[in-house]
């Protein structure tokens, strides 16, 4: 081994010497043939060294469609996650987690045309696996596997899609989803309306401006397609085409239906008359009188469901945020009933408008009813009705980050409430004792890691990191068994007995929090 290391060292030294020869010849503009000859010798030596040689031209980047998140970004994300989780818990949800990868057969056939975006993994010991595409299919598998027929759950985790990323719009290949689902047999539209209420609460808590929750019904779509003359075997592919209306124009969707999906132009034109309609209860009543639609049982059932759901939305106080929109299709195969999608009206995507991507975030939440999905995993095809919503958290983050960058207010990346400051030298042990007492009382505390830090540098740390309070000690404070409590923003100081320090700090922090509300 020692002989091998010696040989390796000799080889590395030869490479260094040969490299200097090449550099010297190039700087002297020597004969090209001579340079090439010496370069060849250098390459031969490097080849002899093999893989142990120094790595050159290594590209430091994240994979396409992914990104790193530094402390400022994570502070924004954590704040948003806390508000979302608080909303989920307020509505009685419990949480669970599932593996980041599933058996490939679990995911196959559940996403329609989007199945091509699933990441397949190499065979690892006899199982064909894929990274999860969303959190809904794993949830359905979990219910079937554990024979659960009733649960209200939320799940926040990363999912993976081999999509064309649009980073500034918050569209990635690896991203978080925040899902809320209600599984169980309940009376119609009560859980469905609550899911829409949850979306409204989350968007209002994040203070992102005006928004609208578009709603439609899969049964109404199927009934509408039948009334327009669409063959049964084309329902799903036509539904996927209609789903693109929020990103492109009707003429483009019509062309796709006719040229790519093989739909009769007359049927496409009839669909066009319906999918451009939007409104509220008055539109539902109008469509219930439509001669073509009221002959379709599915269409009538869908309209009656929507009418009841909008009644509940009115009671929840969110009817003004809901729009019945016949262009909403949501292309995933597993939806069976009500479907919905939330859009920020100040940030909606406008095709060919020339607006920057940062303004065009598209939908920020979506979901619906999927009563048949659990049965697909059950050996006896036992049905568990489900309805849920997924928050498009990455798109919301894109807006929150842009807003933070535009703001003059610095994003706090720590939650430290108190910084322990020594006013003189040789007080490290006293600072450590103070920190220990504050930590033991669950007060978020920091101090300098230098033995004798300067007073000014400690105060600057407080200001830079936005720490609201400082506990200042010097020799006189120790002798008199007191500390000085300093408000960093106002620079006001007051003496506090050491015995009362903890309760005085807690009271001061409560006062500051109330002032900031």
**pLDDT tens-place string over residues 238-293:** 888 887 887 788 888 888 888 888 888 888 888 888 888 889 999 999 999 988 88
Residue 350 pLDDT exceeds 80: no
Spell out the SS3 assignment of 471-511: EEECHHHHHCCEEEEEECCCCCEEEEEHHHHHHHHHHHHHH
Q: Report the percent of the chain where pLDDT is more than 70.
A: 93
Lowest mean pLDDT among 39-48, 77-86, 216-225: 39-48
pLDDT of residue 234: 81
DSSP state of 425: S
List C-alpha distances in Å: 485 to 438, 473, 514. 13, 9, 19
- Residue-range domains of the chain with CATH: 2-49 (1.10.287), 65-209+386-411 (3.30.930.10), 210-345 (3.30.930.10), 418-516 (3.40.50.800)
Q: What pTM was estimated for this model as a whole?
A: 0.79
Chain mean pLDDT for the chain: 88
Lowest mean pLDDT among 123-137, 228-242, 350-364, 405-419: 350-364
Check the CA dihedral 139-145-149-151 and report its sign.
negative
Residue 1 pLDDT exceeds 80: no
Q: How far apart are CA 233 and CA 364, in angstroms?
A: 31
């Amino acid at each position: 081994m020692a002989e091998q290391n010696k040989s390796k060292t000799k080889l590395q030294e030869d490479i260094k010497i040969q490299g200097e020869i090449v550099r010297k010849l190039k700087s002297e503009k020597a004969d090209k043939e001579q340079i090439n000859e010496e370069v060849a010798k250098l390459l031969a030596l490097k080849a002899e060294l093999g893989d142990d040689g120094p790595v050159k031209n290594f590209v430091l980047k994240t994979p396409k469609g992914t990104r790193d998140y530094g402390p400022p970004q994570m502070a924004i994300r954590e704040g948003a996650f806390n508000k979302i989780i608080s909303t989920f818990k307020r509505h009685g949800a419990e949480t669970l987690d599932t593996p980041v990868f599933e058996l490939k057969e679990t995911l196959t056939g559940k996403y329609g045309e989007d199945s091509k975006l699933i990441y397949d993994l190499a065979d690892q010991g006899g199982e064909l696996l894929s990274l999860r595409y969303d959190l809904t299919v794993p949830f359905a598998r979990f219910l079937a596997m554990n024979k659960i027929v009733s649960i209200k759950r939320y799940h926040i985790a990363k999912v993976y899609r081999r999509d064309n990323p649009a980073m500034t719009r918050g569209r990635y290949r690896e991203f978080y989803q925040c899902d809320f689902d209600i599984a169980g047999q309940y009376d119609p539209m009560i859980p469905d309306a609550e899911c829409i209420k949850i979306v409204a609460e989350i968007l209002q808590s994040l203070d992102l401006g005006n928004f609208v929750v578009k709603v439609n019904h899969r049964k109404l779509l199927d009934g509408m397609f039948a009334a327009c003359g669409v063959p049964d075997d084309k329902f799903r592919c036509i539904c996927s085409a209609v789903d693109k209306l929020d990103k492109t124009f009707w003429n483009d969707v019509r062309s796709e239906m006719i040229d790519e999906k093989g739909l009769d132009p007359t049927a496409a034109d009839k669909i066009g008359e319906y999918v451009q309609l939007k409104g509220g209860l008055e539109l539902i009543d109008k469509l219930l009188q439509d001669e073509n639609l009221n002959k379709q049982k599915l269409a009538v059932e869908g309209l009656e469901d929507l009418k009841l759901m909008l009644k509940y939305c009115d009671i929840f106080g969110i009817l003004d945020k809901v729009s019945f929109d016949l262009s909403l299709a949501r292309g995933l195969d597993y939806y069976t009933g009500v479907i919905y999608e939330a859009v920020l009206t100040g940030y909606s995507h406008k095709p060919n408008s020339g607006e920057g991507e940062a303004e065009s975030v598209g939908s920020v939440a979506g979901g619906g009813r999927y009563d048949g999905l659990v049965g697909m995993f059950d050996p006896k095809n036992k049905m568990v009705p489900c309805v849920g919503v997924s928050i498009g958290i990455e798109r919301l983050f894109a807006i929150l980050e842009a807003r933070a960058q535009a703001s003059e207010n610095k994003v706090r990346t720590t939650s430290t409430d108190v910084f322990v400051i020594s006013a003189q030298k040789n007080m490290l042990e006293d600072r450590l004792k103070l920190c220990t007492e504050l930590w033991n009382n669950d007060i978020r505390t920091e101090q300098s890691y230098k033995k004798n830090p300067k007073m000014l540098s400690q105060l600057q740390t407080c200001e830079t990191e936005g720490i609201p309070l400082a506990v200042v000690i010097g020799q006189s404070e120790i002798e008199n068994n007191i500390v000085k409590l300093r408000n960093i923003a106002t620079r006001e100081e007051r003496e506090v007995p050491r015995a009362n320090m903890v309760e005085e700090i807690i009271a001061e922090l409560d006062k500051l929090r109330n002032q900031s509300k």
